[in-house]
């Protein structure tokens, strides 16, 4: 069995305010959807690699050759991790936001882009122009497929792209990606998958899903910050203007018109075209090791998270006044991310109490998905744009989940704690 070994911040000892729970706390990170802790295997690999990083594709020295090998080999890791087609490119980026912005700049002229308005801002905002069609996300998965169908039918002639997330960063629900891709194909459209939230939890197959591009972030799948990837169709990517202009992206540069200061630039094809500048070799290595570890352990990863999600769901149902946010009516397949509002309690205040008094890290706010947050909170019977989000991962234990549920029940049923109440026991956010 796979026992994920996580680099756990050792926050133990007395918290800054007296504990309701009493005694010592160990930090419970229930914010995996924002960023995940680092796998021990990743830390080891980075430690081993640190003495060796050097310029990639540029140096003749031994360290440069080691670095180049590690960097290029990681493209193959990502290729396998996403079941990429033989001719797909793997472009290293900083993160998903960077990858989707790169793709947005690489679209052929007059590409129509169809997407749900509930997407994360990283997927919602990079597309510009009159041909961007943002459709309100419907309340069932079947309707989600059919509104994409209708939107594509109404697109003008020319290239088309559907952008869809694999799993919602607000609700954890899975989107019907394969079904949307099938519809897109019928309209001659391509599909880009925002896999920031799916990649840490489920295998992704470009081939099986029949999608054209996938974007992901290392820091959400158990590597540190700084590296992500865009994987997908070579034709659009190789024909596009380079994402960044600079060294590494060029094959040849010469003066074309000395008097006018003109330059003739021949850009590289392939991933290098969009990777100008010295790359983040250490980050890329960390990303690759994390992907490889996940890929070798999917059954255990999914079993671990499903059991905890089930426990969390059962626990949250016992918290009075708690209403969960959902994209879709009814039960839908999901990863371990749950957002909710609690009647009468400010999410920011709840998050602060959970942190200060129970050592639990959660996220409150609108999760960089303002349209989704506002709408889903209103459907859940709440108000405003802020909710609380709990997200599980390999760093989560049953004790973390139980602690959260106990904490919420206590805060809600006992109404108050000294630090946050007025003298007559009212909550005062």
Which residues are the active-site residues? Answer: 368
The interface region with ligand PMP, picked from 4-12, 95-103, 299-307, 415-423 by CB under 6 A, is 95-103
Q: Which of 79, 120, 141, 285 binds ligand PMP (CB under 6 A)?
A: 120
122 counts as binding ligand PMP under rule CB under 6 A: yes
Query: How far is Cα 239 from Cα 130, in angstroms, rounded to an integer?
Result: 22
Query: How far is Cα 353 from Cα 12, in angstroms, rounded to an integer?
Result: 17
Number of residues lying near ligand PMP (CB under 6 A): 14
Strand intervals (E) in 220-345 = 228-232, 250-257, 262-267, 322-324, 337-342
Cβ-based nearer residue to ligand PMP, 243 or 267: 243
* Conformational region of residue 135, where left means phi above 0, alpha means psi within -120 to 50, and beta covers everything else: beta
171 counts as binding ligand PMP under rule CB under 6 A: no
Cβ-based nearer residue to ligand PMP, 67 or 165: 165
160 counts as binding ligand PMP under rule CB under 6 A: no
Q: How many CB atoms lie within 10 A of CB 49?
A: 17
Question: Mapped to the 3 state alphabet, what secondary structure does 246-263 carry?
Answer: CCCCEEEEEEEECCCCEE
Cβ-based nearer residue to ligand PMP, 218 or 359: 218
97 counts as binding ligand PMP under rule CB under 6 A: yes
368 counts as binding ligand PMP under rule CB under 6 A: yes
Q: How many CB atoms lie within 10 A of CB 40?
A: 15
Q: Report residue 313: phi and psi, to 5°.
A: -60, -45
280 counts as binding ligand PMP under rule CB under 6 A: no
Q: Which of 31, 88, 149, 194 binds ligand PMP (CB under 6 A)?
A: 194
Residues 6+ apart with CB under 8 A from 392: 30, 32, 305, 308, 309, 312, 336, 337, 401
The interface region with ligand PMP, picked from 193-201, 328-336, 346-354, 380-388 by CB under 6 A, is 193-201
Distance (Å) of CA 417 to CA 24, 30, 191, 347? 18, 22, 49, 16
400 counts as binding ligand PMP under rule CB under 6 A: no
177 counts as binding ligand PMP under rule CB under 6 A: no
Query: How far is Cα 335 from Cα 321, in angstroms, rounded to an integer?
Result: 23
Cβ-based nearer residue to ligand PMP, 167 or 322: 167
Under the rule (CB under 6 A), what is the footprint of ligand PMP?
95-97, 120, 122-123, 165, 169, 194, 196-197, 217, 219, 368
């Amino acid at each position: 069995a796979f026992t994920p070994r996580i680099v756990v911040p050792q926050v133990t000892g007395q918290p800054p305010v007296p504990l309701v729970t009493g005694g010592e706390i160990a930090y419970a990170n229930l914010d995996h959807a924002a960023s995940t802790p680092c796998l021990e295997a990743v830390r080891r690999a980075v430690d081993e690699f640190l003495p060796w990083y050097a310029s990639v594709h540029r140096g003749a020295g031994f360290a440069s050759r080691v670095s180049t090998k590690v960097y290029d080999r990681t493209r193959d890791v990502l290729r396998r991790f996403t079941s990429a087609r033989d001719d797909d490119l793997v472009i290293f980026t900083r993160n998903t936001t960077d990858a989707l912005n790169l793709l947005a700049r690489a679209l052929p002229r007059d590409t129509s882009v169809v997407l749900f308005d509930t997407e994360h801002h990283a997927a919602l905002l990079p597309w510009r122009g009159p041909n961007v069609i943002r459709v309100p996300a419907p309340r069932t998965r079947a309707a989600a497929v059919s509104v994409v169908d209708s939107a594509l039918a109404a697109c003008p002639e020319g290239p088309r792209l559907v952008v869809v997330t694999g799993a919602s960063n607000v609700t954890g629900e899975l989107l019907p990606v394969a079904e949307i891709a099938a519809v897109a194909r019928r309209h001659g459209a391509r599909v880009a998958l925002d896999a920031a939230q799916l990649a840490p939890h489920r295998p992704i197959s470009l081939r099986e899903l029949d999608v054209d591009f996938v974007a992901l972030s290392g820091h959400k799948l158990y590597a540190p910050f700084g590296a992500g990837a865009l994987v997908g169709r070579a034709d659009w990517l190789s024909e596009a203007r380079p994402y960044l202009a600079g060294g590494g992206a060029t094959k040849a540069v010469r003066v074309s018109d000395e008097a006018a200061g003109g330059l003739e630039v021949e850009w590289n094809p392939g991933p290098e075209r969009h990777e100008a500048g010295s790359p983040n070799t250490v980050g890329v290595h960390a990303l690759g090791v994390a992907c490889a570890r996940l890929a070798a352990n999917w059954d255990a990863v999914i079993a671990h998270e499903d059991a905890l999600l089930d426990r969390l769901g059962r626990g949250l149902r016992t918290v009075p006044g708690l209403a969960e946010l959902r994209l879709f009516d009814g039960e839908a397949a999901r990863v371990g991310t749950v957002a909710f509002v609690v009647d009468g309690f400010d999410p920011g205040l709840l998050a602060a109490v959970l942190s200060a008094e129970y050592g639990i890290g959660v996220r409150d706010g609108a999760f960089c998905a303002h349209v989704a947050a506002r709408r889903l909170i209103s459907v859940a019977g709440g108000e405003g744009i802020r909710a609380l989000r709990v997200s599980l991962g390999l760093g989560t234990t049953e004790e973390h989940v139980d602690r959260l549920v106990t904490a919420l029940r206590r805060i809600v049923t006992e109404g108050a704690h000294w630090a946050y109440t007025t003298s007559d026991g009212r909550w005062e956010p």
